[in-house]
Structure 1
Amino acid sequence: MGFPGTWMTESESMVYRVVPKCACSTIGQIMYYSDHGSFFDGDIHDASNGLHKWALEDSQPLITDNVRAHRSYAFTCVRNPYGRILSSFFDKICGIQRNGKRYRGNLVPLIMQKYGVEVGDPENGFEFDQIASFRRFLLFARDTIRWRRPMEPDIHWSAMSGHISTFILNGGTYDTIFFTEHFNDGMQTVLSSVETPVPVELAEIPRFNESEGHGPKRAHPIEDYFDDLSMHLVYEIYKRDFQLFKYDVENPGNKMPLGEIDLDEVHAKLGE
């Protein structure tokens, strides 16, 4: 299986296991900058040079050797499951993608037809009932994860623990896992632990949000999207994420973690 979703700087200063919707664009650009002194011109997910990625065949043996020998500082980043699934809905389901089209071709028409989800469109200013549509999307996301129908679960809403576990199961060890909600502190921990060819002043790094501006703006506070049933579905899908990464399952309005991540617990439970 190897190390899917793993990126490594060309200098091998650091190794990162990507978790979609958890500041991955910004992290990737910081890694790129730390080697080259400039940012990748475009979406870092499209970069096919300047950064080792598991998706690039030539990078695979280099990543494998590094990770299994734990030669470099390895890390990942997590996010509150309530905020992450809501962000996935607005970006991937409602938003127009970089290529000017809807995400994954027939995905949006499928969930519109089968689940009654509305997504709006740019012509009408994305006017639709966001709360009702999001709750219906949650049913779809749960069905893909629980029963793998009407399609396989998508990486943007499959559980963080599933992404993070592949790295451990194949012989990797994390040195830190930090919170998107405490991004500067977490990323600074990484940068302070490694030597990079180009120094990185984190305060001067812009945030790269590639999904911004391509879809509707969230019209309500996050807690308004989750009623009792929605909270139950989110917990069913992301129980392990809430437990391992210490997020508040009782209050969708509290995006902050309730405690620190226990790395030993993460390695033990996700390495089984």
Structure 2
Amino acid sequence: MGFPGTWMTESESVVYRVVPKCACSTIGQIMYYSDHGRFFDGDIHDSTTGLHKWAQEHSQPLIEANVRAHKSFAFTCVRNPYARILSSFFDKIAGIQRNGKRYRGNLVPQLAQKYGIDVGAPEDGFEFDQIKSFRRFLLFARDTIRWRKPMEPDIHWSAMSGHIATFIANGGRYDQIIFTEKFNEGMQQVLDRIETPVTVDLSHIPRFNESEGHGPKRVHKVSDYFDDLSRHLIWEIYKKDFQLFRYDFDDPDNKMPTAEVDLAEVHAKLGQ
């Protein structure tokens, strides 16, 4: 199986396990900059040179050797599950992608037909009932994760613990897990513990949010989207994420983690 979703700088200064919707574009660009002194021109997910990625065949033996020997500092980044699934909905389901099309081609029409989800269109200013459509999307997301129907779960809404576990299961060890909500603080701690060819000043790093501006804005506070049934579904899908990464299940509007991540517990529970 190897190390899917793992990126490493060409200088091998740091190894990062990507978790979708958790500042991955910004982290990838920081890694690229720390080697080359410039940002990748475009979406870092599209780069095929300048950064080692497991998806690039020539990178695999280098990443595998590094991770198995734990040669470099390894980290990942997590995000509040309520905010993450909302972000997935507004970006991937309600939004228009970078190529000007809907995500995964016929996915949105399929959801409209099977789940009654309406997400509006750019022509009507994305006018739709956000709460109703999101709750129906949540049923769909749960169905993909629980029963793998009507399709396999998508990386953008499958649980963070699942992404993070593959790295451990194949012999990797994390040195740190940072929070999207305390990004500068966590990323600075990572940078303080590694040696990079180019010095990175976080105060001058822009945020690379590749999904921004391509879809509707969220118009309600987080808790408005989650009624009793929605929260039941969220717990069913993301129970481990709340527990391991210390997020507040009881208050959807409290996006901040309640404590630091216990790395020993993460390795023990996700390495089985």
Q: TM-score, normalised by structure 2?
A: 1.00
Over 2 Å off, 4+ runs: none
- Partners of 2:170 and 2:120 in 1: CA distance: 42
- Partners of 1:268 and 1:110 in 2: CA distance: 39
- Partners of 2:31 and 2:120 in 1: CA distance: 36
The equivalences for 1:8-157 within 5 A come to 8-157=8-157
- For the pair 1:262 / 2:262, whether they are aligned, the reply is yes
* Equivalent residue pairs, number: 272
Alignment root-mean-square deviation, CA = 0.4
The one-letter code sitting in structure 1 at the alignment partner of 2:237 is I
The one-letter code sitting in structure 2 at the alignment partner of 1:188 is Q
The one-letter code sitting in structure 2 at the alignment partner of 1:127 is E
The one-letter code sitting in structure 2 at the alignment partner of 1:142 is R
- Partners of 1:113 and 1:2 in 2: CA distance: 38
Q: Tell me the SS of whatever aligns to 1:76.
A: strand
- For the pair 1:222 / 2:222, whether they are aligned, the reply is yes
- Partners of 1:161 and 1:173 in 2: CA distance: 14
Partner of 2:236: 236
Q: Tell me the SS of whatever aligns to 1:239.
A: helix
- Partners of 2:157 and 2:82 in 1: CA distance: 11
- Partners of 1:12 and 1:152 in 2: CA distance: 33
**1:171-224: per-residue Cα shift (whole Å, max 9, x none)?**
000000011001011000110000000000011100000000000000111111
- Partners of 1:180 and 1:194 in 2: CA distance: 20
Partner of 1:177: 177
- Partners of 2:244 and 2:270 in 1: CA distance: 9
Moved more, 97-106 or 83-92: 97-106
Q: Tell me the SS of whatever aligns to 1:240.
A: helix
Q: Tell me the SS of whatever aligns to 1:74.
A: strand
- Partners of 1:224 and 1:203 in 2: CA distance: 34
- Partners of 1:233 and 1:248 in 2: CA distance: 15
Q: Tell me the SS of whatever aligns to 2:178.
A: strand
- Partners of 2:104 and 2:253 in 1: CA distance: 30
Gaps of 5+ in 1: none
- Partners of 1:234 and 1:112 in 2: CA distance: 21
Q: Tell me the SS of whatever aligns to 2:211.
A: coil
Q: Tell me the SS of whatever aligns to 2:269.
A: helix
- Partners of 1:130 and 1:189 in 2: CA distance: 37
How far does residue 259 in structure 1 lie from its aligned partner after superposition?
A: 1.0
- Partners of 2:203 and 2:123 in 1: CA distance: 38
- Partners of 1:99 and 1:67 in 2: CA distance: 34
- Partners of 1:114 and 1:91 in 2: CA distance: 20
Gaps of 5+ in 2: none
Q: Tell me the SS of whatever aligns to 2:40.
A: coil
How far does residue 157 in structure 1 lie from its aligned partner after superposition?
A: 0.1
How far does residue 106 in structure 1 lie from its aligned partner after superposition?
A: 1.1
**1:231-251: per-residue Cα shift (whole Å, max 9, x none)?**
111011000000100100011
Q: Tell me the SS of whatever aligns to 1:62.
A: helix
How far does residue 23 in structure 1 lie from its aligned partner after superposition?
A: 0.2
